[in-house]
Amino acid sequence: MEDHRSEATLSASPPRVQFPRTYNAAADLLDRHADGSRTAYVDEAGSHSYAELSERAARIGNALAQLGVQREQRVALLMLDGFDFPAAFLGAMRLGAVPIPLNTLLTPSDYAFMLEDSRAVAVIVSDALLPKLEPALAELSRKPKVVVAASARGGDRKEHSSLDELAATAAPVLEPASTTPDDVAFWLYSSGSTGAPKGAVHLHSHLAYTAVLYGQGVLGIRPDDVVFSAAKLFFAYGLGNSLTFPLSVGAKVVLSSERPTPEVVARVMREAKPTIFCGVPTLFASLLASDELAESGVSPALRVSISAGEALPRHVGEAWRERFGSDILDGIGSTEMLHIFISNRHGDVRYGTSGKPVPGYELKLVGDDGEPPLAGEEGSLWVHGPSAAAHYWNNRGKSLATFHGPWTRTGDRYIRDEDGYYTYSGRADDMLKVGGIWVSPFEVESALSAHAAVLESAVVGHADDDGLIKPKAYVVLKPGQKPSPELEAELKAFVKGSLAHYKYPRWIEFCAELPKTATGKIQRYRLRG
């Protein structure tokens, strides 16, 4: 059997990763663990060792081959977080097929689009999600083979094949496909915060690059770590947190199929005692406001948390550190770059900023005039790094707009200070021009969220009676707080006290929740109507 292991040099600046010419990312992650008895995953069904993961992945890969799945063909994964998700993802890649995790929170029409767009020849679906998939299957011009995986939630597989039954009769060993570092390994569809989702095509080398540059180089993940990610495996952030990083060092991962409400997360933290917790800003704010967590605390073993999806408000990070005694490493990543490429780091946390570039990634800001802005001035963020997607599938126009040679246009607006820290200003398409001056929605949202009554907020442009654009805020209050005209006036005055007068929201609408993508990003376009 060929050796598919990558070799990392963490002492280099930046860290280096070297690959053999024949390289399969699944084999690299699965075959490097000499002690197969170590626990790889814990889910609702129990504990699963690295040896069990390797065998399950091989059986699923062989089962797919028996169904006729060939190298480079796409296999969609519509699966809840559980042991079979990483096994299916790795098994498909080991076979040389291309797994495509799908967001479990979407609609049948979304799935119909993705399956038609990707031309997937097979779908592995959790039994509880089959009712959402079947209407999509009815719309397709070509029908993929459907395999149903048992889940903690349960469900009827109907006339479809059973993953357990197929795996039980498949061989427990699978020779890795002779792929290369530059072969296509998997796709991830963008979260669709604006417009139709796009299939970002990632290569076999990309997983190792993110594991070494961020997972080991910044996060400092270790074999004795226990990782719990509230962010699910189906998107880039969760895939790194719960698969790439821990498997690269032999750590243990806790998976939950449940929706990550503050109550569920608090319970898992209390029972599983993770050392690393991965969340999004909204969840950290909700956990701080949770009565249950205030009484029980978080995991006593917790040594660090990470946050991505949107920028973490300064007061949330500071309150977390004061309450629980450990830092949140806030950063920014994207589906296109696969994981975090700007981050705060151990011993160098500056809340209110996204931190500095992850070593191995290069950044540049481009002003509205096409020139680099001065320190303290805003610009559009571009990133250059080895984990960038090759392109968007079947979307040349979007690919040309995003990928420019080695550089990737993120669509984010940032400010770089004289010390080299990057502060998020907002999405380029979310910026507001008020009285001829650009206003960052995130800046106004951060000011609002610092008020004791506010859980979270979203700011969009709204036309006044003269047709001029002014900021409007949608505000979600903390439990126990009630909307009132008095509170609205208080919030407006509160923002005026911390920001320039023209930035305060002229209208405030209280609401129960904000529309978001599965990654926790606010869908402001839905609020704009």
- For residues 386 and 250, membership in a common domain is answered with yes
- For residues 137 and 251, membership in a common domain is answered with no
Confirm if 492 and 505 have CB atoms less than 8 A apart: yes
Lowest mean pLDDT among 187-196, 383-392, 411-420: 187-196
Confirm if 424 and 311 have CB atoms less than 8 A apart: yes
Q: Is residue 325 part of a domain?
A: yes
Q: Is residue 260 part of a domain?
A: yes
The CATH number of whichever domain residue 453 belongs to comes to: 3.30.300.30
Neighbouring C-beta atoms of residue 266, cutoff 10 Å: 22
Q: Is residue 70 part of a domain?
A: yes
For residue 128, the 8-state DSSP code is: G
User: pLDDT of 76-120, one tens digit each?
Assistant: 999 999 999 999 999 999 999 999 999 998 889 889 999 999 999
**SS3 call for 441:** helix
Question: Residue 131 above 60 pLDDT?
Answer: yes
Q: What is the pLDDT of residue 383?
A: 99
- For residues 464 and 513, membership in a common domain is answered with yes
Confirm if 527 and 458 have CB atoms less than 8 A apart: yes
Give 202-232 as a DSSP string. EEHHHHHHHIIIIIITTS---TT-EEEESS-
Cα distance between residue 44 and residue 82, in whole Å: 8
For residue 243, the 8-state DSSP code is: I
- For residues 444 and 380, membership in a common domain is answered with no
Domain boundary, last residue among 404, 427, 450? 427
Domain boundary, last residue among 427, 447, 466? 427
H/E stretch holding 317: helix 314-324
- For residues 483 and 410, membership in a common domain is answered with no
Cα distance between residue 67 and residue 87, in whole Å: 17
Find, among 248, 92, 241, the residue nearest to 179 by Cα.
Answer: 92
- For residues 423 and 437, membership in a common domain is answered with no
Read off the tokens for 319.
């309150």
Positive or negative: CA dihedral 10, 11, 17, 18: negative
pTM score of the predicted model: 0.88
Q: Is residue 177 part of a domain?
A: no
Q: Is residue 245 part of a domain?
A: yes
Name the domain count of the chain.
3
Find, among 148, 185, 189, the residue nearest to 166 by Cα.
Answer: 148
Residue 303 CB burial class (10 angstroms; 0-12, 13-18, ≥19): middle
- For residues 392 and 452, membership in a common domain is answered with no
Domain that holds residue 123: 45-163
Question: Residue 324 above 70 pLDDT?
Answer: yes
Q: Is residue 337 part of a domain?
A: yes
The CATH number of whichever domain residue 238 belongs to comes to: 3.40.50.12780
Domain boundary, last residue among 365, 395, 427? 427
Residue 334's pLDDT band, with cuts at 50, 70 and 90, is very high
- For residues 239 and 377, membership in a common domain is answered with yes
- For residues 474 and 387, membership in a common domain is answered with no
Instruction: List Cα–Cα distances, 91 to 60, 100, 194, in angstroms.
Output: 6, 12, 32
Place of tokens 């065998």: 55
Q: Is residue 95 part of a domain?
A: yes
- For residues 380 and 318, membership in a common domain is answered with yes
The CATH number of whichever domain residue 97 belongs to comes to: 3.40.50.980
- For residues 414 and 483, membership in a common domain is answered with no
Find, among 14, 78, 455, the residue nearest to 233 by Cα.
Answer: 78
- For residues 410 and 478, membership in a common domain is answered with no
**SS3 call for 368:** coil
